[in-house]
Amino acid sequence: MKNNRYGAGWAFLWAALLTTLVGAEEVGYFADNGFGKPLATLHHPSGEYYQGSTYLAYQGPHEDAYVCAYNHLTKKWTGPLLAGVSPMGKTPDPTDNGEVDNHGKPAMMVDGQGYLHVVFGGHGGNALLGTNLLGTPAGIGRGGKLIHLVSERPEDITAWRVLDNISPFGTYPQFVQMEGGAIYLFYRHGTHQSDWVYQKSGDQGRTFAAPVAVLKHQKSAGSEVHDAWYAWFGKGLGDTVTATYMYHPCAYPGHSKARQNVYYMKMNAADGSWENVLGESCEVPITKEAADRKTRLFDSGADRCNHGTCRMDGEGHPHVLFRYKGGQVRYTRWTGRAWTDPVAVISDGEEKGQDGDLVVESPTRVRAMLMRTKGGQHEVGWWSTVDGGQHWEQEAPLFSRPGGGLDIGALIEQGSGRGLVVVSEGRVPEHLYRKMYLLGEKGPVGREAAEASLIQPQLERLRREGARAVPAAKGKAGKEGVEEDD
């Protein structure tokens, strides 16, 4: 798939010029062409380690999908290269955050044969794509099309082709790959008022079965509010898949950003059955009433909760992170008898700007990779507990920057001790391009400035035009594309 948005030659010319000007100067970022909100924990994995290299995917200019690779032996980068063109992109790139949808960020994985897969570009589709039988009625989707790309060759990011084998209506794509080779693609089948579903592949992603609904959307009894959800799916112990999710009371008009409660259940992949933490059967797609009765682990009342991540320990017990109220990350785990009281991982009063993922080393030893804001400084690093989450200690930050915020993805699959996580810069005053960082155990994995600096032609154009960005917090009222979490 070739870049038909703008001439790629500009990037190569600029790289050649920059090499002459700065030589082999190294910078902490691997690319500066992330765009809008380039990645999020909800779109995952955003990277995977395979056969000595870490492969990364993120949202670049025009909301297109870009892929990059880092070889840990040679310490050389390849890319970023354009993998696929988003139907939601605008030309030229906006400088107003309210004009960027941001729901089409990519998820990527490497299959058992070494081929790379990227899914991106969707936010509910439109009537031209057909009828959405599992969600938002045709004609009122937010746009785009969920697209599945596969690399032409194993371990090679230079050429891609489209596989037309998934629903076009999806958003928030999430890959889960099982030890036996089965691949599950989870996503929301449309905009807010839609089921969350999965499609399963038994042939390395070359074909997928029809969508299977997991979380049910429906109008609440005697109300104009529609039951909707935000969900995070991940690999469980053995042949299982975990699901943690939050309830979203959705209404139009009068739409709100309310997110309530935290829920958990798991799928037995052998037969597709679902059960709660007690082992009781759960019929899917699960309704709000059944979810409250059988799978709710935390009742937030009127307080806002938001999605986090879930990982299992060696005993098959889930450990859950979620964001509470203004964005404070809280942790709970299943002891085998009960859920522990949720505890704030960072308890110093800094309640905003927190997100991340976790690694479970044992039932009581856990490390959380978190970003947080403190006193105008934005940090990413490990927090650890050795007593099952009662107390947490901060380790030395891996990355820190003043002002502008950060975005963080889920932990890189198979990435421990190599590339751990990808983060991007937040707001800058003039534009929506973002520097992208791969963090390892010692901090950012560096790159020559000439290779990492790609957007100078676009910045020069903006300077000539005198363009200024609307602050990223500003958006169009009532537009689903402007959300606190995405």
Is 172 annotated in the active site? Answer: yes
Tell me which of 103, 217, 248, 307 is the catalytic residue: 103
**Residue written as token pair 């905009």:** 191
Q: Residue 331 carries which side chain, given as an amino acid letter?
A: Y
Measuring CA to CA, which residue among 404, 382, 409 is closest to residue 393?
A: 382
- Cβ atoms 138, 128 nearer than 8 A: no
Distance, in Å, from the CA atom of 117 to the CA atom of 31, rounded to the nearest integer, reads 21
The two structure tokens encoding residue 365: 């030893």
- Cβ atoms 394, 364 nearer than 8 A: no
Is 43 annotated in the active site? Answer: no
Q: Is 289 left (phi over 0), alpha (psi -120 to 50) or beta?
A: alpha
- What is the C-alpha radius of gyration for the chain, rounded to an integer number of angstroms? 21
Q: Residue 253 carries which side chain, given as an amino acid letter?
A: P
Pairing of strands 281-282, 273-275: antiparallel
- Cβ atoms 261, 305 nearer than 8 A: yes
Distance, in Å, from the CA atom of 58 to the CA atom of 5, rounded to the nearest integer, reads 17
Distance, in Å, from the CA atom of 187 to the CA atom of 365, rounded to the nearest integer, reads 31
Tell me which of 172, 230, 245, 331 is the catalytic residue: 172
Catalytic center residues: 103, 172
